[in-house]
Amino acid sequence: MNNKGLLIGVVVVLLLVGGYFVFAGKMNKPSTAVTEQQEVFTPTQEASSMEEEGEVAEITVEGDEYSFSPSELTVNAGQKVRLTFKNVGSQPHNFVVDGVGVASKTITGGGSDTIEFTASESGTFGFYCGVGNHRALGMEGDLEVE
Ligand SMILES: [Cu+2]
């Protein structure tokens, strides 16, 4: 009778211990799942914000005495363009595209101006510096809208 009682006691203890692990396992699983969801969620958010960034074409054009670098630019029709014009020369310069209705501020040497535009029609549009006779001196190039 004593042995049987002991056996029952051991079984009860085993059940309690087993029950604890089952219970603990159930408690652990949802919290692990939440952590995994968060880990998945964060990169997804970054990816979508990167996609939005990718819709804007970033272009940098440098102006000097008396040329643009690069002098050939290509953008896609309908795509938003963020163009930064850097004056790396010593005289004031600007960046103008008549056909697209784009013009930067006239900036002094070392400065820059960022303009945003969307070229809706495809074609080749000449750009130039509108300061003095800079265009005639070679400050011009082509904006290709595809
Ligand atoms: Cu100029």
Q: For residue 125, what is the domain's CATH number?
A: 2.60.40.420
Instruction: For 107-142, give the DSSP string.
Output: B-TT-EEEEEEE--S-EEEEEE--STTTTTTT-EEE
pTM of the predicted model over 0.85:
no
The mean pLDDT of the chain is: 81
Task: Please tell me the predicted confidence (pLDDT) of residue 49.
Answer: 43
Tell me: do 6 and 66 sit in the same domain. Answer: no
Q: Provide CB contacts within 8 A for 96, sequence distance 6+.
A: 102, 103, 104, 127, 128, 129, 130
Residue 22 pLDDT exceeds 90: no
Q: Please, are residues 129 and 61 in contact by the beta-carbon 8 Å criterion?
A: no
Give 67 Cα–ligand 1 centroid separation in angstroms: 8
Rounded CA-CA distance 122/64 in Å is 28
pLDDT tens column, 53-108: 458 999 999 999 999 999 999 999 999 999 999 999 999 999 999 999 999 999 99
Rounded CA-CA distance 97/140 in Å is 10
User: Which residue range forms the structural domain that includes residue 90?
Assistant: 56-145
Tell me: do 49 and 67 sit in the same domain. Answer: no
Q: Average pLDDT of 108-125?
A: 97
Residues with Cβ within 5 Å of ion ligand 1? 93, 129, 131, 134, 139
Tell me: do 106 and 141 sit in the same domain. Answer: yes
